[in-house]
Amino acid sequence: MYNYIVKEDLKYITDADLPWNLFENSTVLISGANGFLPSYMVHTLIYLNEKYNKNIKILALVRNKKKAEKRFKDYIDRNDFKLIVQDVCKPIKIDMDTDLDFIIHAASQASPKYYGIDPIGTFNANVKGTNNLIKLAYEKKSKSFLFFSSSEIYGEISKNQIPTKESDYGYLDPLNVRSCYAEGKRAGETICICWQYQYNIPIKIARPFHIYGPGMDLNDGRVFADFARNIVNNKNIVLNSDGSATRSFCYIADAIIGFFTILLKGEAGQSYNVGFNKETSILELAEILVNLFPEKNLKVIKKEDQFNKGYIKSKITRSCPDILKIKKLGWIPQFSIQEGFKRTNSFYEKSTFN
């Protein structure tokens, strides 16, 4: 069923000191369940049922039925799992007698390669979709609602705002089509706060930075996915820039614990950064990965300014989260880049899991 790396991740996640008992006999709706991050949350909840008999009902809301049936092929006939196939931008169709104790809204295109192809769809999932799901949370009197925002909402910040706190904000150009994602997330957060303020909906907001690991789309278009694909395919790592931009890279298992920490322990109406609190330049990442696998005899090659069609380059040169706020909830990432990418490479070289 699971690749051994994923099994180890799921054990690591569920061993975290969290009030997992809050999920007992509950129903959890996860939108965008086909995605890299939310699908791992689905797997975690299934694992809690299998290992700890939590009796959780998981509703996985997706647009692409075929992809979902492939990703969740081992769950389709389970009584604790149900696929809901629809677009979140349309009113959510849930049986009147179905309770929704927890809602996780993660439906959104997250890869920059789609921002130039479908900016309207990218924006609407975070605006219309967010409003539809919060309305559902209101109607169902949900116990907790988690909105997946993004580190991109911070925009172009100054040097003295790095590491970046949840209260730090920089410039975003609304006339730049790439802003469809960041402005959509900002608008989604505002919608969340409006509902929380006016109707006391228990909304929490997660702001993921760069998350990588087993199950990510190696054709995603983001730098860490490109590099991982090169390593798996025994190809040299090609830089399409000078490699000076910095990012923080957090392993999936750590990030998932962070998301559940916010859902179960976060304060309503608050946002929390989820990411590794260390900057790594793109060039450094490439060199780390090449050095991790010396047996492959790979090199780092620079070919500046050669970007894929539809991929709109980010103006952000530095990105690193301040995670003090979520640390106060008990979350601290543990996996180093070296450990995380070794696990990621092992997954893709030996896995049949999608």
pLDDT at 305 over 70: no
Q: What per-residue confidence (pLDDT) applies to 350? A: 76
CATH of domain 4-216+250-277+318-338: 3.40.50.720
Percentage of the chain exceeding pLDDT 90:
85
Is pLDDT above 50 for 353?
A: no
Q: Given this model, what pLDDT does residue 110 score?
A: 79
Band of the pLDDT at 47, cuts 50, 70, 90?
very high
In the chain, where the domains are located: 4-216+250-277+318-338
Cis check: omega of the bond before 163, within 30 degrees of 0: yes
Tally Cβ neighbours within 10 Å of residue 75: 19
Our measurement of the distance from residue 83's CA atom to the centroid of its chain's CA atoms, rounded to an integer in Å, reads: 20
**pLDDT single digits (tens) 136-150:** 999 999 999 999 999
The reported pLDDT for the residue numbered 242 is 86
pLDDT exceeds 70 at position 50: yes
Tell me the average pLDDT of the chain. 93
State how far the Cα of 209 lies from the Cα of 2, in Å rounded to an integer. 26
Q: Are 49 and 79 in contact (CB under 8 A)?
A: no
pLDDT at 2 > cutoff 90: no
